[in-house]
Every structure is written in C-alpha cells, then in structure tokens.
Amino acid sequence: MPSNKNVRAPRGPNRARPSAGRVAWRVRELADSYGCAAATIYSWIQAGALPASQPSKGLVLVMDADWRRFLASRPASSATPTVVNATA
C-alpha cells in the first residue's frame, strides 16, 4: 500500500464547504470547488489516499463520503503539494 504521509488536504475558506447532498464529484469539480489543481486531486488518487472510480473513459468520480473522510484525515493548515505530469 502506498505511503500517504506526504499527501495534504487543501486549505482555505472552502475547505469545509458543504456538499449540498452530492453523491459523487468529478475531479475538475473538486478542484474548482476546493481551490486546488485537478493534477493535485489525481495525485492523491494515484497515491491511494483518495478512493475514486472510473465508470467510463475520461470520467473519474470521487464519492462525497470519501472526499469528506479524506479532508477530515488531513491537517487544516497544510499546503497543497505541487504535482507535475499527473494523469488519470
């Protein structure tokens, strides 16, 4: 299992934004809503820190419950990592 010690959650005022009944998020929606790059979300998925599914080619979904667990497990004051060449 991959090590998750270098994976950090987003910071800022939108970090705890309510999901308003969402069941799942597209990676781009998470990135836009929570103020980080899509490449960062993909890096968390690839590291095994954030569960995701790929129901069809080009579509990667993160369940809202998994996203909330991920955020709760990370320090609020952490900076987001910089990711280069991340792919889904």
pLDDT tens, 24-48?
999 999 999 888 899 999 999 999 9
Fold of the domain spanning 24-72: Arc Repressor Mutant, subunit A (1.10.10)
Alpha helix locations (H) across 6-76? Answer: 27-34, 38-46, 64-72
pTM for this entry: 0.64
Confidence of residue 8 (pLDDT cuts 50, 70, 90): low
Maximum C-alpha span of the chain: 35
H or E stretch covering 60: strand 59-63
Q: Which residue has the higher pLDDT, 36 or 85?
A: 36
How far, rounded to the nearest angstrom, does the alpha carbon of residue 30 sit from its chain's CA centroid? 7
Task: Answer yes or no: is pLDDT of 1 > 50.
Answer: no
Sign of CA dihedral 17, 21, 23, 27: negative
Confidence of residue 88 (pLDDT cuts 50, 70, 90): very low
Residues facing 24 on adjacent strands: 63
